[in-house]
Structure 1
Amino acid sequence: MNNLFVLVVVIALSIGLNNGSRLFPKNQLYFRNSLSRNDDVLTVHCKSDDDDLGIHSVQRSYEYGFKFGDSLLHLTAFVCTLEHGVSSKYSVTFTAYIANPFFISTGVIKLWVAFDDGIYLTDEDHDLVKIYSWPKI
């Protein structure tokens, strides 16, 4: 009886996490280009252990985002590189998301915003906090 209960719970969690149900909403990462120049394109390239999401060009005042679920088998983390400027003059690579090692997170939303002076992150209250500066060239 106990084995059947465990199996049902694992199946229910797998279906909920994989289908983005309302019970277990997907986590979301967004990257917004708020650079001052209209022709300054933000390039975003994110990877996890399982996925390489490719390179995405984000025009000024637009954003790129994706949804994902935490892995049941290993720690989910996305490392992203943001670049802008002529010949990608300014580049920062950082961990944009790392799961809590003690439980599976659902419904986490992180918005990273690129400004001229650096990269900011919003919290749940929508306050912008500067996390990274562009490298000095």
Structure 2
Amino acid sequence: MNKFFVLIVVIALSVGSNNASRIFPKNQVYILNTLGRSDDVLTVHCKSEKDDLGVHLVHYGDIYSFKFGDSFFGETKFVCTLSHGIGFKSSVTFTAYQEDPYFYIKFGALTLWDARPDGIYLTNDDHGTKFMYSW
């Protein structure tokens, strides 16, 4: 039992190191602006309990992305607010990433959120492309 605990601690510590990125690649969330007009800027504000990633302006055709590792205790969750339109009045807040609560740590998971004129679409390995939220 002691050897197992030591192994878990070593793995947990190595996940955060730079050399571990090849063995344990970071998860990535991408947010794409395909709102349809070149002058329709998307604001993106994502945060977790531990990290506020700030507000970013994403122009039509551009992508905002961020990388992170899952927590060892199943607590990783990023909530994002996307806004656009006159005065950024069209807005939606949603969970962009939620770690599996049963200690299934993901490495290298890719999630793509696509902001379109009718709402937000999710593309990932689990769902393909699926409409998720209206503005």
TM-score (norm 2): 0.89
SS in 2 for 1:13: helix
SS in 1 for 2:21: coil
Q: Partner amino acid for 1:88?
A: F
- 1:26 paired with 2:40, answer no
**Structure 1 residue 71 displacement after superposition:** 1.1
Identity of aligned residues (%): 53
Q: Partner amino acid for 2:123?
A: T
1:11 is aligned to 10
Residues 17, 26 of structure 1: 8 Å contact kept: no
Residues 46, 80 of structure 2: 8 Å contact kept: yes
Q: Partner amino acid for 1:61?
A: G
**Structure 1 residue 24 displacement after superposition:** 1.1
1:111 and 1:81 map into 2 onto residues whose CA distance is 15
Shift in alpha-carbon separation, 1:21–1:57, aligned structure 2, 3 A: same
TM-score (norm 1): 0.88
Aligned residues: 133
SS in 1 for 2:92: strand
**Structure 1 residue 76 displacement after superposition:** 0.6
Residues 74, 99 of structure 2: 8 Å contact kept: no
**Structure 1 residue 81 displacement after superposition:** 0.1
**Structure 1 residue 114 displacement after superposition:** 0.4
Q: Deviations over 1:27-65 (max 9, x none)?
A: 000100001111000000001010000000000000000
* Consecutive unaligned residues in structure 2, runs of 5 or more: none
* Consecutive unaligned residues in structure 1, runs of 5 or more: none
Instruction: Name segments (4+ residues, structure 1) moved above 6 Å.
Output: none
2:109 and 2:126 map into 1 onto residues whose CA distance is 13
Q: Deviations over 1:49-96 (max 9, x none)?
A: 100000000000000000000112451100100000010120000011
Supply the RMSD in Å over aligned alpha carbons: 1.9
1:113-132 aligned within 5 A: 113-124=114-125, 127-132=128-133
